[in-house]
Amino acid sequence: MNAFLRKTAVRLAMAALAVGLIFGVWNLVIFAFDLKAYALPTPQDSVATIYDRWSTYQPLMLQTIKETVYGFLIGAAIGFCLGVAMAASKIVQRLVYPALITSQAVPVVAIAAPLAILLGFGLATKLVIVALWVFFPVVVNVLDGLARVDRDLLNLARVMGAKRTRAFFAIQLPATLSPLFSGLKIGATYAVTAAVIGEWVASLPYGLGTYLNTAAASLDARGVWGATILLTMIGITLFLVVTAVGVVATPWERRSTARRGIRSLFINKQKGARRWFGSLPAGSRSESQSRPR
Amino acid sequence: MNGGSPKVLVDDVTVHFDGALALDHLSLEIGRSEFVSIVGPSGSGKSTLFNVVSGLQRPSSGRVLLDGRDITGETGHVGYMLQKDLLIPWRTVVGNIVLGAALTRGVRGRDREEAAALASRYGLGEFLDHYPHALSGGMRQRVALMRTLALDTDVLLLDEPFGALDSQTRLDMQLWLLSVYEDLEVTILFVTHDVDEAILLADRVTVMSGRPGRILADLPIPLPRPRDLDVLTSPAFVELKRQVLGLLHHTPAAAAAR
């Protein structure tokens, strides 16, 4: 546990160092080009702005978080279901894949405004835009994960007498988990951007994206950078949460043993031995022959 | 053979693939608790034969009987193991061993107990909760074999199970399989390219011809059990090996044995 704490401390220190580095370069640029505060405020000033205007920022931030998280979850769910459906049926795949590519080739910024005309200036438009951005990496990764399941493993399941549904739940579905989380991590970083663009065209209720628009229009550089830092933090937090859930959901990727579940406490080797070795005299010859390596 | 009805009967099986003949009227009888090795050149249809017996491949003609019952084209009656271990990365050693139950009737506490007992008995007692990636190649193949043993069947088809292992590990695994086989009442069909392996393990070595697959010869291996390393250098073993190699490579010794 001590080693774990030390490793965590080192990682946190490295992360802090990375942030410090960004702030350092930021300050350096201001110093080198002699930028005035109304053009580019220092990071210190920007962070201070967040404190100063917290009562303004807070409700806006909650609104943007809501759009980001809901849109992300909707996009992820749609992406996952589509991926599974496309893997299950070649026909669905041939029908849906061109539509998928089209949905990504259409510039979201371009259809954002028409979407707002269609769906109104409320939450719906923003959720659609975020989901549209998030679902694609999820579909592609889930599809990839399902395609990579070894045919021989599925044949083995058949030889064992498995029904298709059982094999699906025991072999194919869990195989999507690792790629699913790769897709979700990409989606998590897109989601905030999508929410901001959504707010630019569908501004009700106000969020940080709306605030960015009005602050930029009034040349309020401090306000813009304060909001930008908050948006960045939302994105990073969502990414970290997704990563953490992924670590818990796929323990085999970094652990060599399973967390000892309650079930394994009840495994009684002696009782189980009866089926196999019930008739054997104790200490029979295989004892000396089987050589653990 | 132990007399009585055969455990597995491959009866006049022919398999065509897109017009090409893979198996040509092949018949094979495997007795109860018999260990039969099948050797033959690549493309002689050994794996096709396994696919037919396991039910994955329906033969163009002929049938497969298990305990006298027709199981042609039906899966779920025999255990099957390949050169690839095909362990499931997110299941532990015990979880992989009980896969058969998980895929058919659902895992019960008893299955886990039996799996744990089996793993402990054969040198994996400390690895019950390990994921496959944390095991060596040899250990993974052991788990794969235990998974096959844990099925509710006593016929095992092993298709070059040790083909991907280094020679040292392979020899260890062969000796280990001998001890498992001698402990348990199972019937084993074993495909291999390795003549030493075929003879060391089996009661009978069946030599197949190149495409289309036919049986060239059926050689009893009367070496006494339990067998150990010394068998490999005994005169009887060397003579049997000479015969099998002769059959495989069509030398005069082959003609004499036929």
* pTM of this prediction exceeds 0.95: no
Phi, psi of B187, deg, nearest 5: -105, 130
User: What are the φ/ψ torsions at residue A248 (nearest 5 degrees)?
Assistant: -70, -35
Confidence check on the interface: ipTM exceeds 0.95, yes or no: no
Q: How many angstroms separate the Cα of A251 from the Cα of each of A148, B78, B91, B92?
A: 20, 32, 10, 11
User: Between chains, do A272 and B90 touch, taking CB under 8 Å as contact?
Assistant: no
Reduce the DSSP state of residue B189 to 3 states and report it. Answer: strand
Helix (H) or strand (E) holding B63: strand B61-66
Identify any residues that bridge with B174 across adjacent strands, giving them in sequence order: none
Q: Give residue A262's pLDDT.
A: 56
Contact B92 A258 (CB under 8 A): yes
State whether B183 and A291 contact (CB < 8 Å).
no
Query: Which residues in chain A have their CB less than 8 angstroms from residue B161's CB?
Result: none
- Residue A88: predicted pLDDT: 84
The confidence score (pLDDT) of residue B212 equals 81
Task: Tell if the CB–CB gap between A285 and B56 is shorter than 8 Å.
Answer: no
Q: Give me A9's structure tokens.
A: 């401390």
Q: Which residues of A touch B79 (CB under 8 A)?
A: 159-160
Residues A143-197: pLDDT tens digits? 999 989 998 999 999 889 888 888 888 899 999 999 999 999 999 999 999 999 9
**pLDDT per 10-residue tile (average), chain B, 258 residues:** 74 86 89 92 85 91 91 89 91 93 88 89 87 91 90 89 89 90 90 92 90 86 89 92 88 50
Sign of CA pseudo-dihedral B109, B113, B119, B123: positive
CA Rg value for chain B: 18
What is the Cα–Cα distance from B234 to B237, expressed in whole angstroms?
A: 5
Secondary-structure percent of chain A, ordered helix, strand, coil, rounded to 5 = 80, 0, 20
What architecture is domain A37-250?
Orthogonal Bundle (1.10)
- B226 to chain A: closest CA residue: A285
Residues of chain A above pLDDT 90, percent: 58
- Report the distance separating Cα B240 and Cα B244, nearest Å: 6
In the prediction, which pLDDT does A1 show?
Answer: 61
3-class DSSP state of A246: helix
Point out the residue among B84, B130, B138 whose CB comes nearest to the CB of A256.
B130
Separation between Cα atoms, residue A181 and residue A186, nearest integer Å = 9
Which tens digits make up the pLDDT trace of A96-139?
Answer: 889 888 888 888 888 888 999 999 898 999 999 999 999 999 99
- Residue B140's pLDDT is 92
Tokens 């092949």 sit on residue: B26
Contact pairs from chain A to chain B, CB under 8 Å: 156
Could you tell me if A183 and A138 are in contact, meaning their C-beta atoms sit under 8 angstroms apart? yes
Give the chain A residue nearest B140 (alpha carbons).
A293
Structure-block tokens of residue B15: 């398999």
Query: What 3-state DSSP class applies to A265?
Result: helix
pLDDT of A157 reads 92
- Does residue A286 register a pLDDT over 80? no
For residue A288, is pLDDT > 50? no
Which 8-state DSSP code applies to residue A161?
Answer: T
From the list B56, B86, B136, the residue facing A158 with the nearest CB is: B56
* Cα nearest neighbour of B229 on chain A: A289
**What's the pLDDT tens digit per position in A7-52?**
999 999 999 999 999 999 999 999 999 999 889 999 999 999 999 9
| Residue of A160, A267, A277, A291 to mutate for B, most B C-beta atoms under 10 A | A160
Going by C-alpha positions, the residue among B84, B87, B81 that lies closest to residue B134 is B87
Q: How high is the pLDDT of residue A266?
A: 64
Give the per-residue pLDDT at A291.
Answer: 39
Question: Closest approach of chain B CAs to the CA of A152, in angstroms?
Answer: 8
Contacts of B148 in chain A (CB under 8 A): none
